[in-house]
């Protein structure tokens, strides 16, 4: 049995990270790079359509992983709240 203070639990949650947050960062960065490429590089019609498709696909994935990251964070905060309430 370990004793943990409330502030230590809060620090644990604030530093908690999930794999979803990593994927969010990677896909969001990829979406931005595809958008910059489409807007600044002279591309033929085929490549232009391909890069727009990549942009939309990575943007969709970034949205998904962003939502999952937020859900993980809320779940962690809820669990800490349960632990704090049960410890009183």
- Within-domain flag for 66: yes
CB 17 within 8 A of CB 73: no
Total count of domains within the chain = 1
Q: How far is it, in rounded angstroms, from Cα 33 to Cα 51?
A: 10
- Within-domain flag for 41: yes
Q: How far is it, in rounded angstroms, from Cα 37 to Cα 50?
A: 11
What is the per-residue pLDDT across 45-87, written as a single tens digit (0 to 9) for each? 999 999 999 999 999 999 999 999 898 888 888 887 777 777 7
Mean pLDDT of 9-27: 78
Give the per-residue pLDDT at 78. 83
- Within-domain flag for 59: yes
What is the per-residue pLDDT across 19-52, written as a single tens digit (0 to 9) for each? 888 999 999 999 999 999 999 999 999 999 999 9
**DSSP SS3 for 76:** helix
Write down the pTM of the prediction: 0.76
- Within-domain flag for 7: no
Enclosing domain of residue 52? 19-80
Q: How far is it, in rounded angstroms, from Cα 77 to Cα 88?
A: 17
Has residue 1 got a pLDDT over 80?
A: no
- Within-domain flag for 2: no
């Amino acid at each position: 049995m370990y004793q943990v203070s409330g502030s230590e639990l809060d620090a644990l949650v604030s530093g908690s990270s999930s794999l979803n947050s990593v994927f969010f960062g990677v896909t969001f960065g990829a979406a931005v790079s595809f958008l910059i490429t489409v807007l600044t590089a002279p591309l033929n019609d085929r490549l232009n359509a391909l890069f727009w498709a990549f942009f939309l696909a990575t943007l969709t994935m970034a949205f998904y992983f962003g939502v999952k990251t937020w859900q993980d964070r809320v779940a962690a905060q809820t669990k800490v709240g349960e632990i704090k309430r049960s410890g009183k």
